[in-house]
């Protein structure tokens, strides 16, 4: 399993580990990590070797937390290969607990900074991407830590297929405005919205996440935004 010390140098802000893991979770981690975790060796990740059966397409979730959304999507779309990215050890352990309980085989995960993974993904290889309730980094001097950034959107534009969806959820008003502004200034994306209901109501095929439910309990409503990666001309 990857040594936590060896990944400290990457661009992850926030915690890498929380409470010590329970014995069963530690055992599950030891069991699943070697087969289900993604390691980057060359410049580009070879997707064809990742899953036992070639998936019809690949979907990516950045910052999956404890994996509630990822596991539900994987169960609902068994022909899709899911790639999750989460640097927080307890999050990865939470996902593995779900994988073990539900017997899901179409998920692989990368336990580090999403940017390292995205840089290794081939051009136009991803058919749908999710960034759900990313850390808002409220202070102005921390805005550069935000996962939704001009640089990361350029990389997402490179790896997403034409006409594919990028879904972003947030309960934070200021970050929501920031997200819309960053997406509007990127010419490769179009916001798919007709009525206010389109982004104030979670679509049926968008399972709830832990942070969304926390926000709801605290009385905060969320925005559910879907952007389309425009069809590329070449």
Buried b (16+ CB within 10 A) or exposed e, 216-227: eeeeeebbbbbb
Q: Which of the residues 3, 79, 100, 135 is marked catalytic?
A: 135
Helix (H, G, I), strand (E, B) or coil at 170: strand
- Known active-site residue 171: no
Site for ligand SAM (CB under 6 A): how many residues?
Answer: 22
For the segment 12-31, give every residue that binds ligand SAM (CB under 6 A): 12, 14
Nearer to ligand SAM, 72 or 86 (CB): 86
Beta-carbon contacts of 101 under 8 Å, excluding residues fewer than 6 positions away, are none
For the segment 154-183, give every residue that binds ligand SAM (CB under 6 A): none
Q: Which stretch binds ligand SAM (CB under 6 A): 20-28, 61-69, 100-108, 191-199?
A: 61-69
Beta-carbon contacts of 108 under 8 Å, excluding residues fewer than 6 positions away, are 36, 37, 38, 50, 51, 81, 82, 83, 84
Among 73, 91, 164, 226, binds ligand SAM (CB under 6 A): 91
Cα angle, residue 12 at apex, residues 39 and 25 outer, rounded to 5° = 60
Residues in the chain: 234
Q: Does 113 bind ligand SAM (CB under 6 A)?
A: yes
Question: Rule CB under 6 A: which residues touch ligand SAM?
Answer: 12, 14, 62-65, 85-88, 91, 113-114, 132-135, 147, 209-212
Instruction: Supply the residues annotated as catalytic.
Output: 135
């Amino acid at each position: 399993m990857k040594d936590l010390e060896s990944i400290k140098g990457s661009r992850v802000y926030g915690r890498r580990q929380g409470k010590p893991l329970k014995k069963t979770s530690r055992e599950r981690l030891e069991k699943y990590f070697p087969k289900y975790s993604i390691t980057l060796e060359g410049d580009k990740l070879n997707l064809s070797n990742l899953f036992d059966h070639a998936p019809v397409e690949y979907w990516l979730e950045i910052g999956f937390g404890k994996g509630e959304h990822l596991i539900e999507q994987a169960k609902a779309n068994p022909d899709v290969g899911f790639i999750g990215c989460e640097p927080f050890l307890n999050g990865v352990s939470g996902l593995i607990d779900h994988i073990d309980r539900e017997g899901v085989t179409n998920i692989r995960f990368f336990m580090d900074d999403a940017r390292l993974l995205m840089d290794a993904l081939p051009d136009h290889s991803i058919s749908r991407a999710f960034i759900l309730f990313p850390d808002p980094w409220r202070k102005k001097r921390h805005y550069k830590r935000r996962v939704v950034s001009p640089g990361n959107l350029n990389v997402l534009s490179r790896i997403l297929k034409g006409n594919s969806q990028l879904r972003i959820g947030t309960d934070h008003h200021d970050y929501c405005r920031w997200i819309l502004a960053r997406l509007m200034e990127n010419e490769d994306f179009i916001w798919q919205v007709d009525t206010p209901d389109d982004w104030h109501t979670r679509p049926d095929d968008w399972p709830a996440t832990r942070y969304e439910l926390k926000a709801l309990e605290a009385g905060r409503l969320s925005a559910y935004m879907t952007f389309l990666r425009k069809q590329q001309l070449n």
